[in-house]
Amino acid sequence: MTNRVKVMSSGHTFNVEAHETILEGALREGVALPYGCRDGACGACKGKVVSGEVEQGGYQDKALPASEREQGMALFCCARPKGDISIEVREVVGAGDVQIKTLPCRVDSIEKIHDVAVLKLKLPAAERLQFKAGQYIDILMKDGKKRSFSIANAPHDDAFIELHVRHQVGGSFSDYVFNQMKEREIMRFKGPLGSFFLREDSDKPIILLASGTGFAPIKGMVEHALHHGSLRPMVFYWGARTLADLYMAELAGSWQTRHPNFTFIPVLSEALASDNWQGRTGLVHQAVLDDFANLSGYQVYACGAPVMVEAAHTGFTHMRSLPEDAFFSDAFFLSKDSAKS
């Protein structure tokens, strides 16, 4: 059975097959709905069901509180239409311009920096992956599960796909990467995915915010902007526990040295005595709150731990006048089937 979905704001329509969620149907037909985890955890795909009914699949309560569901809101990554429906959701400009592919790749190199493995994956000679700076791919495992990782390189630098994999003790994939993976291994992936990417149709100054390996998509965004000669002011706050956790701090520092419109502000929450740290301390989102009294004229890109992303969204929009549609985020959730890192 096929159901028809209409997006009220744009007039776009698409079909959803019986086995698909609303998001899956939209992506298949090139309608760019926002999304992140695709697992009912982050809330990025949330929208309102204006007419008709949906069957809401499993999700985390914080992504769709009962009060919002009573108002007709739904998570389109795990909702299925029960007939033809109309929805209201902010579509993503630009995401539909790239084709999602499933491709093989070869592990070209594995560089371990502290507890992060920097993987470079080589595509077949006749293939290139077109993507937006900041998007991610799914590594497709042999057991049918997937592992999601942000693309750390910029679209112009497409000889390899660069991923940053943090070692999670007990994590099956990261344990494999650190202890068993060999160069020249063949893997499969699907991508590009996600609505977290640099918006280039604005001249607003940018606040970039990362915790841990949330640096990966930020790296791709910054390198893309600098490559194209963007003059938009960019301030990058990178939060970590200790100095070693800022695993590519020298690279971020070099951007500041070479580009007057770029500022790098590292923030440590649990600096060691041996770090001899003289820089900013505390929570990374609080550093932004301390530095900016008004964010109404900015765009913010935040990536990393869910608690950081949520705190930044609440603090910036409620306390610093950041418009809702100027906050873009990708929270690294863990689930039974996928791990965003």
- CATH number for the domain including 211? 3.40.50.80
- Assess whether 216 and 166 both reside in one domain: no
- In 20-100, the DSSP E strands lie at 46-51, 54-56, 73-75, 79-81, 85-88
The answer to whether residue 49 is domain-embedded is yes
The answer to whether residue 118 is domain-embedded is yes
- Indicate the residue among 145, 170, 193 that finishes a domain: 193
How many angstroms separate the Cα of 120 from the Cα of each of 5, 13, 83, 145, 186?
39, 38, 44, 21, 12
Tokens of 115: 């507890």
CB 270 within 8 A of CB 240: no
* 233: three-class secondary structure by DSSP: coil
Return all residues near 308 (Cβ < 8 A) that are at least 6 apart: 209, 211, 214, 239, 283, 284, 285, 302
The answer to whether residue 84 is domain-embedded is yes
CB 80 within 8 A of CB 54: yes
Question: Buried b vs exposed e over 164-201: b needs ≥16 C-beta within 10 Å?
Answer: bbbbeeebebbeebbeebeeeeebebebbbbbbbbbee
pLDDT of residue 335: 45
pLDDT of residue 39: 81
- Indicate the residue among 88, 118, 137 that finishes a domain: 88
The answer to whether residue 337 is domain-embedded is no
- Assess whether 33 and 119 both reside in one domain: no
The answer to whether residue 262 is domain-embedded is yes
- Assess whether 82 and 160 both reside in one domain: no
Question: Per-block average pLDDT, block size 10, for the chain (341 residues)?
Answer: 91 92 88 82 90 92 90 94 93 72 96 97 90 95 91 93 93 92 96 92 96 97 96 98 98 98 98 97 98 98 95 97 95 55 52
The answer to whether residue 229 is domain-embedded is yes
The answer to whether residue 339 is domain-embedded is no
- Indicate the residue among 193, 225, 247 that finishes a domain: 193
Cα distance between residue 147 and residue 219, in whole Å:
20
pLDDT in tens, 276-325: 999 999 999 999 999 999 999 999 999 999 999 999 999 999 999 999 99
Number of structural domains found in the chain: 3
- Assess whether 222 and 313 both reside in one domain: yes
| Domain of residue 244, residue span | 206-331
